[in-house]
Chain A
Amino acid sequence: MKAQCVPLCLLGAMLFLCSVHTRDLRRCLISTDVHTIEESFRGIKKAIQAKDIFQNVTILSPSETLHSIKPSDVCCVTKNLLAFYMDRVFKDHLEPNPQILRKISSIANSFLSMQKTLQQCQKQRLCHCGQEATNATRIIHDNYDQLEVRSAAIKSLGELDIFLAWIDKHHHGTSAA
C-alpha cells in the first residue's frame, strides 16, 4: 500500500504545482510606476476637468465596465484601454497650452511604454480576451461615439484618474510574466 501511495502523492504534487504555475502565467502584469503617471495627471486634472461640460455622462463607466473585470481579463482590458487612449483620445484632443501638452505627452509616451510590455505577453498568448473584456471595451467605445469628438476626448482625458487607479490596483507589485 505504502509503495503505491508514493507515486500517487508525487503525481498529485506535480499537478498542484502545474496548476499554480499556469494560474501565474495567465496573469500578465506591467511593472511601470503608475504613480509617476498619476503625478503628471494630477498637475493638469483641474484644468482638463474644468473644460468638460457634460458632467452627468461618463465614458469609462467604471461601475459597468472596470469594476467587474476578472483577473484573467485584466491584461486584455488594459491593452484595449491603452489602445483606446492612444488611438482615439490623445489624437482627438488638440491642446494649445504647452504646459498641459507636455503632461499629456508624458502620459501618452508612458502608455506606449506599457503597451510594449503587454505586447510581449500577447506574443506568449497570455493576454486572452474573454467575452466580458470584449463587452467592456465595446461599451466604452460606444459611450465615446455618442458625444461630439472634442467633448468626448476632453471627458476621457478627465477620467484618466479612474483608469490609472484601476491599473495600479490590478498591476501593483509584480512584473510581467
Chain B
Amino acid sequence: MVLEEISTSLIMWFSCALIPCLLIDAVAVLPAPQNLSVQSTNMKHVLTWSPVVVPEEIIHYSVEYQGEYESLYMSHIWIPSSWCSPTAGPECDITDDITATVPYNLRVRAVLGSQTSAWSTLKQPFNQNSTILTPPGMEVTQDGFHLVIKLEDLGPQFEYFVAYWRKESGAEEHVKMVMNGGVPVHLETMEPGSAYCVKAQTFVKAIGRHSAFSQAECVKVQGETLPLALALFAFVGFTLILVVVPLSVWKMGRLLRHACCPVVVLPDTLKITSSPQKLISCRREEVEVCAMAGLSSKELLGVFI
C-alpha cells in the first residue's frame, strides 16, 4: 500500500518534471546573445555582443540596465534602455542610460516575433569612471598677433585645461581653463618674432579624472623687419607711380592732339627762304611801272566807279 503510494507520487513527480522539457522540444529555442562587452571612450559608452543568427529571420534585441541603487534596494527592477528596446544591430549606445558614477548591470536578449531568448548579462558591472579619456583635438591659429585656440567639442561633461608658453628657455607656462569646446578662445597677444606653444587636456568632473596632455603645437609670429621692407617697397613704388603717371598722361595728350587736330606743314617748295623786306620793295617797283604807262590815277578811279 505504502509502496504503491510512493511509486505513484514518483511517477507523477517525474511526469511533471518532464513537461517543460517536452514543451521546449515542441518550440525551437532562440539562443541568447553571447560575448557582451562595453567599449567606453570619452564618456561615450557602447554595449556590444555577438549577433544571434537564425536563417532567413531578422533578429531584434532588447537591452535593460540596473544601477547599483536598483541592485541593492530593488533587485527585481530592470529598466529598458532609452534607445535599444528594441534595437536591430548587435550594439547599443548606452551613454544616456549611464547617468551616475556607480556600477551598472546590463543585460540583452534576442527577440523574434513573440519569441524571446533568455537574458544574457554582462559579466562585470560597468562603471563610467573606467572610460578611456583621450587628449582633445585642437586647432591653434594666429589672428594678427593674437594666439587663438579652438578645442574639439566633447560634450557638456568635459572641461579643458590649456597650457601655453613662449618658446624660449626659462619661459613661464600659463594655464587657462576653458568650459566649452568648439568655440575659438583667445589665449594671449604675442610679441613679434617669437614662437609660442600650446597643449591641452580634458577634465571630467563626474569621474574626477584628466586625460593626458595633447602633443604641443607651436606657432611663430612674424618679426618687425618684414613690415619695414614692405614699407620701403611701397614708398619706391609710390614714387615711381608719381613720375610715370603724369608722363603717360602728357604723352597721351599729345597723341590725341595730333590725332584730332593735326598741324599743317608747308611743303619745301613753298617755303620762302629770303627775307620779307626784299619782297615788299620788289612789289613797290611794279606799281610805279604800271602808273608811268599813260593813264592818270583819276581816270583809273573813274573806270572802277
Q: Which one of B72, B99, B101, B102 has the highest number of Cβ atoms from chain A below 10 Å of its Cβ? A: B99
B100 CB within 8 Å of chain A: yes
- A112 close to B99 (CB less than 8 A): no
B181 CB within 8 Å of chain A: no
Number of chain A interface residues as a range: 20 to 34
Complex interface bits, B43-87 against A, C-beta within 8 A gives 1, otherwise 0: 000000000000000000000000111101110000110100000
Q: A33-B206, A86-B69, A111-B69 are in contact. Are A106 and B102 (CB under 8 A)?
A: no
Q: Which residues of B contact A40 (CB under 8 A)?
A: 99
Q: Report the separation of the CA atoms of residues A99 and B28 in the bound assembly, to the nearest whole angstrom.
A: 34
Report the minimal beta-carbon distance from B96 to chain A, rounded to whole angstroms.
Answer: 9
Q: Which residues of A contact B99 (CB under 8 A)?
A: 36, 40, 105-106, 109-110
B contact residues, total (Cβ < 8 Å): 18
Q: A98-B79, A98-B80 are in contact. Are A109 and B69 (CB under 8 A)?
A: yes
Q: Report the separation of the CA atoms of residues A146 and B260 in the bound assembly, to the nearest whole angstrom.
A: 115
A112-151 interface (Cβ within 8 A of B) = 112-113
Report the minimal beta-carbon distance from A81 to chain B, rounded to whole angstroms.
Answer: 16
- B68 close to A112 (CB less than 8 A): yes
Would you list 20 pairs from A and B whose C-beta atoms are within 8 A, ordered by A residue?
A31-B208, A32-B206, A33-B206, A86-B69, A86-B73, A90-B69, A101-B79, A105-B70, A105-B79, A106-B100, A108-B67, A108-B70, A108-B73, A109-B70, A109-B102, A110-B99, A111-B69, A112-B67, A112-B72, A113-B101
- B80 close to A108 (CB less than 8 A): no
A23 CB within 8 Å of chain B: no
A91 CB within 8 Å of chain B: yes
Q: Which residues of B contact A110 (CB under 8 A)?
A: 99-100
Q: Report the separation of the CA atoms of residues A110 and B74 in the bound assembly, to the nearest whole angstrom.
A: 16
Q: Report the separation of the CA atoms of residues A98 and B70 in the bound assembly, to the nearest whole angstrom.
A: 14
Q: Which one of A32, A105, A113 has the highest number of Cβ atoms from chain B below 10 Å of its Cβ? A: A105
Q: Report the separation of the CA atoms of residues A40 and B100 in the bound assembly, to the nearest whole angstrom.
A: 11
B205 CB within 8 Å of chain A: yes
Q: Report the separation of the CA atoms of residues A2 and B73 in the bound assembly, to the nearest whole angstrom.
A: 67
B88-139 interface (Cβ within 8 A of A) = 97, 99-102
Q: Which residues of B contact A91 (CB under 8 A)?
A: 73-74
Q: Which residues of B contact A87 (CB under 8 A)?
A: 73
Q: Report the separation of the CA atoms of residues A78 and B290 in the bound assembly, to the nearest whole angstrom.
A: 148
- A109 close to B73 (CB less than 8 A): no
Q: Which residues of B contact A111 (CB under 8 A)?
A: 69
Q: Report the separation of the CA atoms of residues A36 and B99 in the bound assembly, to the nearest whole angstrom.
A: 9
Q: Which one of A33, A90, A109, A110 has the highest number of Cβ atoms from chain B below 10 Å of its Cβ? A: A109
Q: Report the separation of the CA atoms of residues A40 and B82 in the bound assembly, to the nearest whole angstrom.
A: 14
Main secondary structure of the interface of B (DSSP, over half): loop
Report the minimal beta-carbon distance from A145 to chain B, rounded to whole angstroms.
Answer: 20
Q: A90-B73, A91-B73, A105-B70 are in contact. Are A113 and B100 (CB under 8 A)?
A: yes
Report the minimal beta-carbon distance from B84 to chain A, rounded to whole angstroms.
Answer: 13
Q: Report the separation of the CA atoms of residues A105 and B64 in the bound assembly, to the nearest whole angstrom.
A: 13
Report the minimal beta-carbon distance from B71 to chain A, rounded to whole angstroms.
Answer: 10
- B69 close to A105 (CB less than 8 A): yes
Report the minimal beta-carbon distance from B286 to chain A, rounded to whole angstroms.
Answer: 126
Report the minimal beta-carbon distance from B156 to chain A, rounded to whole angstroms.
Answer: 9
User: Who on chain A is nearest to B99 by CB?
Assistant: A106
Q: Which one of B67, B72, B100 has the highest number of Cβ atoms from chain A below 10 Å of its Cβ? A: B100
Q: Which residues of A contact B67 (CB under 8 A)?
A: 105-106, 108-109, 112
A172 CB within 8 Å of chain B: no
Report the minimal beta-carbon distance from B215 to chain A, rounded to whole angstroms.
Answer: 30
A42 CB within 8 Å of chain B: no
Q: A91-B73, A105-B67, A108-B67 are in contact. Are A113 and B102 (CB under 8 A)?
A: yes
Partner of A112, one of B80, B97, B102: B102
A51 CB within 8 Å of chain B: no
A70 CB within 8 Å of chain B: no
Q: Which residues of A contact B68 (CB under 8 A)?
A: 109, 112
Q: Report the separation of the CA atoms of residues A33 and B101 in the bound assembly, to the nearest whole angstrom.
A: 11
Report the minimal beta-carbon distance from A118 to chain B, rounded to whole angstroms.
Answer: 14
Q: Report the separation of the CA atoms of residues A113 and B102 in the bound assembly, to the nearest whole angstrom.
A: 6
Q: Report the separation of the CA atoms of residues A105 and B105 in the bound assembly, to the nearest whole angstrom.
A: 13
Q: Report the separation of the CA atoms of residues A90 and B72 in the bound assembly, to the nearest whole angstrom.
A: 12
Q: Report the separation of the CA atoms of residues A33 and B179 in the bound assembly, to the nearest whole angstrom.
A: 14
Q: Report the separation of the CA atoms of residues A123 and B260 in the bound assembly, to the nearest whole angstrom.
A: 109
Report the minimal beta-carbon distance from A93 to chain B, rounded to whole angstroms.
Answer: 11
